Amino acid sequence: MGGIESLQPHVAVLPSPGLGHLIPLLEFAKRLVLNHGVHVSFLVITTNEASAAKNNLLRSLPHGLDVVDLPPVDVSAVTSDDMPVVTRLHAIVEESLSKSLKSVLTELCNPNALVIDLFCTQAFEICSQLSIPTYSFVTTSVHFFAFITYLPTLDREVQGEFVDLPEPIKIPGCPPVRPEDLLDQVRNRKIDEYKFFLLHVSRLPLAAGIFLNSWENLEFVPLKAIREHSFYLQIPTPPIYPIGPLIKEDEPLSASDEECLAWLDKQPPDSVLFAVPGSGGTLTAEQVTEMAWGLEQSKQRFIWVVRMPSDASASATFFNVGSDVNDPKAYLPEGFLQRTRAQGAGMVVPSWAPQVHILRHPSTGGFLSHCGWNSTLESICHGVPMIAWPLYAEQRMNAAMLTAEETGVAVKPEIEPGKKVIGREEIERVVRLVMEGEEGKVMRRRVQELKESASRELGDGGSSSDSLASFIKKCKH
């Protein structure tokens, strides 16, 4: 390597499929290029499955960030639509990396480092053959990272199902997790999805370091635990780099997105509730009906992103985000669209909306969110309090953290005993609470404080900024 080249490290970044994983790793790659002059090869797993939203994201990237599509693999023989998310992810990643990762990294002249997503741990073995240091990027909270680091121990020590435990699960040095808040992937230990999830998280100690999309002021307790608690020190846990919040800064706008923002421009400050089930989330038909009535009865302004209801799965659009075409008239209560439009109170958007633009808009005053980590960070960074509506993955754990007193930026609606869905009266109650109640004002002040602390940590001399700089220094040497 010549002297000039060695000044510019070359880092490869490998996300697993799924928008919730692609977005933070892409933002990380952009920050390496724009703030630190690193040359980044962004490796994309390509299959015979299309995602319109993914293709949009990978357009117009900064100079120095090269998208490298791994040779496409046909996954139809190893996956099916009814597979659980992690089982399907594991099959896709396995198929792609085993065929091409080694040759692609060799063609790229062995980058200084490879940064991988949690579900790409097959890369550890390949990179060790090529002597490339491999770092993990955890796309969830630090609290969740502490939990998954503890999971292999839990797996050895606990008989039976975790969800049947009588007490909350004590995570060393961190707030405990109630069995009912456990992520889907650990709720049934007998199935393949649990085994694959455990396999990936048990490889985390192999990483040269771990990037965490969070910051000191948001998750001080779990960060302190990972750095100081004897449990994590004895594993030993790799060096951690809290570099967050990394959120999507911008997105391309379609004509319908422009229409949505034009409607927002006409509304008073902090008056609109933005309701969206995340990039891969879906509600049941009964829940969609209750949501419609609850929003209408609340008499609050709203933008509601709707998708075809699915009684089969809460993550029905995970692999084809933005590709589902639907007509809300087919499944919303009769007259709902006409009434809310006539009152000028609500806007219903099928499938997809420009979330970043809506959350940063001064008229947006609340966010009914599935509590995916990316959406959580976007809401906090734009100072918007939340209604926590977790659907799948680790979202119930995030919701518990956001509604806890220490964080205090969200309220969670409750399901009445004996009911399967959250009722319209409860939806009306929490919407009013966030948008016009005293508790809503307290949450708004708290989220504003966190927004300011996030901005400080990312600025010059901030802990997140310094943390990333220390990784770059390591790459250069």
Cβ atoms within 10 A of the Cβ of 70, count?
18
**Percent of the chain that is helix, strand, coil (3-state, to 5):** 45, 15, 40
- Dihedral of CA 368/374/378/383: which sign? positive
More confident residue, 281 or 218: 218
Identify the CATH class of 3-248+459-476.
Answer: alpha beta
Question: Do the domains at 3-248+459-476 and 255-454 have one common CATH topology?
Answer: yes
Give the β-pairing of 113-117 and 39-44. Answer: unpaired
pLDDT band at 2 (very low <50, low <70, confident <90, very high): very low
Topology classification of domain 255-454: Rossmann fold (3.40.50)
Contact 154, 169 (CB under 8 A): yes
Contact 30, 57 (CB under 8 A): no
The pTM score is 0.94
Domain residue spans in the chain?
Answer: 3-248+459-476, 255-454
Provide the 3-class DSSP secondary structure of residue 171: coil
In sequence order, the β-bridge partners of residue 43 are: 68
pLDDT band at 476 (very low <50, low <70, confident <90, very high): confident
Those residues with Cβ within 8 angstroms of residue 343's Cβ, 6 or more apart along the chain or in another chain: none
Nearest 5°: the CA angle 382, 366, 248 is: 35
Lowest mean pLDDT among 68-77, 317-326, 427-436, 453-462: 317-326
Those residues with Cβ within 8 angstroms of residue 198's Cβ, 6 or more apart along the chain or in another chain: 151, 152, 155
pLDDT band at 173 (very low <50, low <70, confident <90, very high): very high
Average pLDDT, the chain: 92
Query: Tens of pLDDT along 356-405?
Result: 999 999 999 999 999 999 999 999 999 999 999 999 889 999 999 999 99
Q: Which amino acid is at 146?
A: A
Rounded distance, CA 437 to CA 290, Å? 22
Cβ atoms within 10 A of the Cβ of 58, count?
14
Of the candidates 398, 386, 393, the residue with the CA atom closest to the CA atom of residue 355: 386
pLDDT band at 315 (very low <50, low <70, confident <90, very high): low
Q: How many CA atoms lie within 13 A of 164 on its CB side?
A: 6
Catalytic residue list: 21, 117
Gyration radius from the chain CA atoms:
22
Residues 196, 173, 236, 473, Cα dihedral to 10°: 100
* pLDDT value at residue 82: 86
Those residues with Cβ within 8 angstroms of residue 462's Cβ, 6 or more apart along the chain or in another chain: 456
Query: Tens of pLDDT along 135-172?
Result: 999 999 999 999 999 999 999 999 999 999 999 999 99
